Amino acid sequence: MAGEYYDFGPHKIHHSSVFHTSDLSFAFVNLRPAVPGILLPHLFYLHVLVCPKREAKRVADLTDDETIDLWCIAKKLGRQLESYHKASSLTFCIQDGPQAGQSVPHVHIHILPRKNDDFENNDDIYDEINEKEKELNRELGVDKERRDRSLEEMAIEADEYRKFVF
């Protein structure tokens, strides 16, 4: 383990929220997830992020090895998360640069397990991701249903995922 925290742009991700690492990347549960929870009763919403250990602001800043590692992990985790949550599809999303909605200047892939009718209009998920990104930056009061999760709640989810990852 890299230490107590992993760097995610200007943010520190506690190791208990990280459920997979490779030499070049790490995967962690999202503080402000966007998809309604499917399985775990204590999860109202879910989604995970995969990012390179080295802080690369944009996709073009990644080395070829980082790009390959990032997408190989996203592919494997996506398959495992889809199965675990009994989802029927996945949304993979990268916001590459501030005008694309990227609020954390560190490349990251969102992996969101999807099920039928989780959003009224399928593309509404992108609005939801953008809204969660904006909320993080504004640090406004959070509504009851979409509150920031505690470190303990995030650790519980990460512990569940560690049981089946690779």
3-state secondary structure of 22: coil
- Specify whether the CB–CB gap between 150 and 163 falls below 8 A: no
Asked if residue 99 belongs to a known ligand binding site, the reply is no
Residue 126 CA: distances (Å) to CA of 6, 14, 34, 100, 107: 26, 26, 9, 11, 17
CA dihedral 63, 65, 71, 77 (to 10 degrees): -130
Asked if residue 137 belongs to a known ligand binding site, the reply is no
Asked if residue 95 belongs to a known ligand binding site, the reply is yes
Two tokens, residue 28: 């962690």
108 in active site: yes
Asked if residue 29 belongs to a known ligand binding site, the reply is no
Give the active site residue among 20, 47, 85, 108: 108
Asked if residue 88 belongs to a known ligand binding site, the reply is no
Asked if residue 11 belongs to a known ligand binding site, the reply is yes
Catalytic residues: 108
Binding residues: 11, 30, 95, 101-104, 110
Binding residues for substrate: 11, 30, 95, 101-104, 110
